[in-house]
Structure 1
Amino acid sequence: MSAPLRGWLGVVAALAALVVLGLAVRYAGASEPGRLDDRIGTALYGVGSPWHEVAKTLDALGEPAGSGALMVGVVAACLAARRVRAAVFAVAGVGLAVGTATLLKHLVGRTIHGDNLSYPSGHTAFATALALVVALLATRGRGREGLGPGPVLGAALFAGAAMGWAQVALGAHYPTDVLGGWCTALAVVPATGRLVDRIFDTAQRKRI
C-alpha cells in the first residue's frame, strides 16, 4: 500500500474495529433482532424472482466452493504476474478476515434460527475483504501508486452491500450481522497489508 492510502485505511480500520466491538457487546448472547434489524430486515427479507435467484447466487460465492474458486483465481493471477507479495496478501488478508469473523461468532454467541451463530456475517466479511484486496492490488506493479481511498473503499462498500443484501434477503443474517462482517474486513485487511509489507520489506533489506 502507498503511504497516503495506508494512513487513510488506518483510520478506517480503527473506526471499523470500534463498530465491530460495539455491536459485539450490544448483541452478545442475543437470539432476537434489534430494532434496526427489524426495520431493515422486514424491508429486504423474502424477495421474489428473479432477485431471490440473484441472492442465492451471491450467497453461493461465499460458500467454501465458491469462495475457494474465487481465491484460486486471484492467487493464480498474482502468481502469473510474478507478484508473490500480492498473492500472500490476498490469502492472508481474506483468510484472516474470515477467520476473525468465525472466531467472533463463537465469542459473541449471537444466534439466528435456533442455534446458528450469526454475528458477524462471514459471507459479508469474505466479499468485502476480497474486494478490498483486489482494489488495493488493481494498479500496483505498473509504475503507479495504486487507487486512492475513494475507489478502494467504494469497491469494499459495493461488495459488502451486495453480499449483505443477499444474506438479509435470504434470512441468513440480521442486518447488524452484515454490518459487523463488513467492518471486520475493513479492520483486518489494512492491518494485514501493513504486516505483509513489513515482512517482505524486512526480508528484502536482509538480502541487500
Structure 2
Amino acid sequence: MTGRPTTAVLPPSLRARLGLVAALASLAVVVLGVLYADHSRPSRVDRWIVPPTADSVRPPLRYVAVTLDFLGEPAGSVMVVVAAVTGCLLLRRPRAAVLMVAGAGLAVGTATLLKQLVGRTIHGADNLSYPSGHTAFLTVLAFVAALLATDRLGLGATAGTSLVIAAALVAGAAMGWAEVALGAHYPTDALGGWCTALAVVPATAWLVDQAADRLVDRTAGVGRRERR
C-alpha cells in the first residue's frame, strides 16, 4: 500500500470526457482568436446578440452586473478565492484548494497572454478584449466546485460530467452577461473566456493529482525506510 488516497480532484471516471471537452474548448479558443485577431469592432454574431458597446443594463440588474464584475477584479477575486480555498480545506480537500488557486491563476494568465497575441480591442486601442478573463475566472471556480461535489456525492461519469458542464455554463453565462451588459466585452469574448477555462482546468487538475500522488508515494517511501 502506498497510502495514496482513493479519490482525486479529477475523478478517474471523468478524465476521458473532460479531456475531450478540454480539447474541443482549446480548438474553439484558437479558432475564435484567429477569426477576431486585430479586430476593433463587434462581429456579426456580437451585433446579433446585443449592441456590445452600449451600456444596456439599468438598475436593479445593473447592480447585479456590477457585483459580478467586481468578483473578477483583483480585490474581489482574492476574496472569492480565499473563501473557496477555506471551504475546500474545511472539507479536507487540499487538492481542490490547490486547484482553485492554480486553475484560476492559469486561466486568467492564459487569457491575459491571449489578449496580447490576438490584439482584439473594444472602446479604443488600449482595451484588449479577447478572451474575457473575468468569465474565465468565475468559470474555473464553478468547475472546481462541481468537481468537488461530484466526488462528495459519488456521481458517475455521465452525472458528474453533466454537473461540471452545467455549473461551468451557469457561471460563465452569468459573468459573460455582466461583462457584455456593462460594455466591457463582446459576447464572443465571453465565449472565448469560458472556453479558456474549460481548456485549462482539466489539464491543471490532472497535474495537481500527479504531483500530489508523487508526494504521497515519496513520503510513504521515506516512512518505510525509517521504520526499517
Q: Aligning the two structures, in what range does the TM-score lie when normalised by the shorter sequence? A: over 0.9
C-alpha displacement of 1:83: 2.5
Q: Please give the TM-score of this superposition, normalised by the length of structure 2.
A: 0.86
- Aligned partner of 1:88 in structure 2 is 98
Question: What is the CA–CA distance in structure 1 between the aligned matches of 2:200 and 2:36, rounded to whole Å?
Answer: 21
Is the deviation greater in 164-173 or in 86-95?
86-95
How far off is 1:84 after superposition?
Answer: 2.1
Match status 1:129 vs 2:133: no
Asked if structure 2 preserves the Cα contact closer than 8 Å seen for 1:110 and 1:119, the reply is yes
* Secondary structure of 1:138 counterpart: helix
TM-score normalised by the chain length of structure 1: 0.94
Quick one: distance in 1 between partners of 2:48 and 2:82?
Answer: 38
Deviation, 1:25, is 0.6
Given the alignment of the two structures, is residue 196 of structure 1 paired with residue 196 of structure 2, yes or no? no
The SS at the match of 2:50 is helix
Partner of residue 25 from structure 2, selected from 9, 16, 24: 16
CA contact (8 A) 2:150 2:163 kept: no
Measured in 2, the distance between the counterparts of 1:135 and 1:113 equals: 35
What SS does structure 2 have at the residue aligned with 1:13?
Answer: helix
Residue of structure 1 in register with 2:127 after alignment: 116
2:71: which partner in 1? 61
Question: How far did 1:37 drift?
Answer: 0.8
Contact 2:41 2:122 in 1 (8 A): yes
* 1:27 equivalent in structure 2: 36
> What does the per-residue CA deviation read over 1:150-179, in whole Å, with 9 as the maximum and x for residues that have no partner?
011100000000000011111100011000
Larger Rg: 2
Query: How far apart are the structure 1 equivalents of 2:55 and 2:31?
Result: 25
Task: Work out which of the residue numbers 44, 47, 50 in structure 1 matches 2:57.
Answer: 47
Question: How far apart are 1:136 and its partner, in Å?
Answer: 0.7
What is the one-letter code of the residue matched to 1:119?
Y
CA shift for structure 1 position 145: 5.4
Tell me the amino acid that sits aligned with residue 42 of structure 2: P
Deviations 1:62-115 (A, max 9, x none): 111111101000111222333322211111111111111111111111100002
CA contact (8 A) 2:69 2:134 kept: yes
1:2 and 1:145 in contact (8 A); partners too? no
| Greater CA drift, 34-43 or 166-175 | 34-43
2:170 is matched with 158
- Name structure 1 gaps, 5 residues minimum: none
Q: Root-mean-square deviation (CA), in Å? A: 1.7
Report how many residues are paired.
Answer: 207
Greater mean alpha carbon deviation, residues 198-207 or residues 108-117: 198-207
Q: Distance in 2 between matches of 1:74 and 1:98?
A: 17
